[in-house]
Amino acid sequence: MTATLEPTKAAAKAAAGPSPADVIRRAKDAGVQVVDVKFCDLPGTWQHFSLPLSQLTEDVFTEGLGFDGSSIRGFQAINESDMLLLPDAASAFVDPVLQVPTLSLTCDIADPITGERYSRDPRYVAQKAETHLKKSGVATTAYFGPEAEFYIFNSVRFDQNAHEGYYHIDSDEGIWNSGSNGSANLGHRPRHKEGYFPVPPVDKLQDLRSRIMLALIAAGVDVEVHHHEVGTAGQTEIDMRFDTLTRMADQVMIYKYIVKNVCAQNGYTATFMPKPMYGDNGSGMHVHMSLWDAGQNLFFDKAGYALLSDSARWYIGGLIKHAAAILAFAAPTTNSYRRLVPGYEAPINLIYSKRNRSAICRIPMYSESPQSKRVEFRAPDPSSNPYLTFAALLMAGLDGIKHKIEPPKPMDVDLYELEPAERKHVKNTPGSLQESLAALQADHAFLLEGGVFTQDLIDTWLAYKRAKEVDPVALRPHPYEFFLYYDC
């Protein structure tokens, strides 16, 4: 489920945003005592520090706040560590999860010597992608609507060292607790893969999701719906209304922050890992996209397949052609490829369809309105950096339009019921992070167009992922290997 992609006058007005003076005045009126400045590291995690409200002057918005870039993942070397944060006045909101009244500001990053924006700042990449879209002449605005799923557990334990490696998840809602003893067991739990839409008491998280939703709304995030997802043990989805590329990425960061904090405050733990549990659905982040110009949705054509225009079809062609490289950003963890496997509605097939949820590109058919026509790219997951993921998706789609790339013919059949001779013509997504990184290394010229991504950022991403994630996971014994091989 996701928003209908239709721009509004209110959204356009909000895009102008308040001035620094407005932000400071409103903060004082709201009784704010602390200002929290946040920015995104290269892998996609928010970092922050705080200052008294008295230190937030209008000059801070233009002169910036200094920080050590060498201590941030994927950023500077120790001999060039000084960096600046430039708060974005339009990002301001009063934090709804902190007890001390606190103003939250999302920041851009700049070099204090040159004054130029920092090329490895993920938010800058997203902003450059939006600028590139306008300069391309294809459209003026790209709308994005992600569906970020997650799990809510009661507890989690994990460790990894030289002599042990394990994880242990528990959830009162997990079907495995149907036989537990020691306290009153009241039953009513969703079975594996049967968590979609049951009412309480099977759905034990209704009020918690509502608290999360209300906190998101208090932070300025438009929420359309919340519900239990397919997995047992608390799989959840809360859908945000679409927005422009950078603003939507900002809201994904807010979303993850508020989800984790509201859960923690209520005695739960939330995770956006793509596949935290074996044998049940993983958590994806399906991304809905459309391009607009002069108030018109460029993806609609009443004569096209699934009401798609030529531009929309070519956009899909670009997404499919570059899918393997895109996944280096959109499915960026070794755990991502526990989810991208056959079954569990996993979108591993490099096709498009108006029905098939295992297709990497799906065309939602809930409405025939021109305003609702959009493309859903289903392979991303919420472990990704939304700024880089959305930018990469847009750049691939624009490459498809530029070169009029035709995707494979649409397939509306159940791919798992195809005969082997038919199935062999359908290509799949990469089977590991290593494969996706290799694809990005071989295919990234489309990302460099307009200077949106830089070679330095791509090289840094590849080196970081291989050294910090791929190799460390590959070198460690897996617990299941003891089950398979201990008696060899």
Which residues are known to be catalytic? 68, 147, 149, 229, 237, 286, 357, 376, 378
d(CA 248, CA 259): 16
**Complete DSSP assignment for 98-167:** -SS-EEEEEEEEE-TTT-PBPTT-HHHHHHHHHHHHHHHTS-SEEEEEEEEEEEEESEEEEEE-SS-EEE
Q: What single-letter DSSP state applies at residue 72?
A: S
Which residues lie across from 460 on neighbouring strands? none
Nearest to 451 by CA among 40, 62, 92, 125: 125
Q: What gap in Å lies between CA 174 and CA 189, rounded to an integer? A: 7
The token pair that represents 425 in the structure block? 């013509």
Is 30 within 8 Å of 48 (Cβ atoms)? no
Spatial separation of the C-alpha atoms in residues 195 and 197, rounded to whole Å: 6
**Pair 32, 51: CB distance under 8 Å:** no
Q: What is the 3-state secondary structure (H, E, C) of 330-389?
A: HCCCCCHHHHCCCCCCCCCEEEEECCCCCEEEECCCCCCCHHHCCEEECCCCCCCCHHHH
- Whole-number Cα distances in Å, 170 to 155, 156, 208, 265: 5, 6, 17, 18
Contact 224, 251 (CB under 8 A): no
The residue count of the chain comes to 488
The DSSP symbol for 467 reads I
Q: How far is CA 113 from CA 39, 49, 116, 451, in A?
A: 20, 22, 8, 21
d(CA 485, CA 209): 43
Written as one letter, the residue type at 5 is L
> Which residue has tokens 């809905």?
288
From CA 399, how far away is CA 407, in angstroms rounded?
13
Tell me the CA distances in angstroms from 108 to 123, 127, 226, 336, one per residue in order: 7, 10, 31, 28
